[in-house]
Amino acid sequence: MSTSIVLSVLSEDRPGVVETLSKVLARHGGNWMESSMLSLAGKFAGILLAELPDAEADAFMRALSSLEAEGISVVVGAGPQSDGFGDARFVSLELVGQDRPGIVHDITEVLARHAVNVQELETTVQSASMSGESLFLAHAKVFIPADADTEALRSELEALANELMVDLSLEGTR
């Protein structure tokens, strides 16, 4: 038998973090399934889905604990039982507007009210080419429940976009 686990990883950004994780997993007969990892502001963070033999689980957990001495913090959670999305629709959300505090909260508040699950979120701030002002850009992949009122969601997001004076688009809702 094998066990699925989800690892959350955080360390200072430096060469070898992924190699160290993969070495520990391989030494315990584990299989690296899916991951998303990145470097931001001098930190390295990631999430990893792995499978390992049940007989290796305890030794693997001890080995992960020892990584703390190398500056690698790992939190372990149970693997997925199901994706939980059923007939949900996958949608891309794009947003561009003048940067200000609260944009992410305002948008995700509307999404949560409609039971929309944020699957991925990438944001950045960059200088506008003509004015030099700070532009906030966001790209999200979200799942909308099959029974959600898509028109109400779209309408509420459009009203918020007008209020915030941002360009917002949803692709894949129709």
Q: 127-165 pLDDT, tens per residue?
A: 988 888 899 999 999 999 999 999 999 999 999 999 999
For the residues 25-52, what does the mean pLDDT come to?
97
In total, how many domains does the chain have?
2
Per residue in 78-134, pLDDT tens?
988 766 667 789 999 999 999 999 999 999 999 999 999 999 999 999 998 888 889
pLDDT at 173: 58
84 within domain boundaries: no
For the sheet with 72-78, list strands across it. 31-40, 43-53, 2-12, 72-78
Residues 6+ positions from 134 with CB-CB distance below 8 Å: 98, 99, 125, 126, 127, 128
Q: Is the pTM value of this prediction over 0.85?
A: no
Q: Same domain, yes or no, for 72 and 121?
A: no
Looking at the structure, tell me whether residues 108 and 68 fall in a common domain: no
* 77 pLDDT higher than 60: yes
Indicate the residue among 78, 104, 121 that finishes a domain: 78
Q: Domain span at residue 138? A: 89-171
Query: What is the arithmetic mean of pLDDT over 52-76?
Result: 96
Which CATH number do you get for residue 40?
Answer: 3.30.70.260
| In a shared domain, residues 148 and 111 | yes
Residues 65 and 125 in one domain: no
Q: Is the pLDDT of residue 174 over 60?
A: no
Position 30 in a domain? yes
Distance, in Å, from the CA atom of 155 to the CA atom of 164, rounded to the nearest integer, reads 14
Do 67 and 141 have their domain in common? no
* Mean pLDDT calculated for residue range 63-89: 87
C-alpha–C-alpha distance, residues 24 and 3, integer Å? 16
d(CA 94, CA 122): 10
Confidence at residue 85, expressed as pLDDT on a 0 to 100 scale: 64
Residue that is last in its domain, among 46, 78, 110: 78
CB 52 within 8 A of CB 30: yes
In-domain check, residue 83: no
Does residue 121 lie in a domain region? yes
Note the pLDDT tens digit of each residue in 48-57: 999 999 999 9
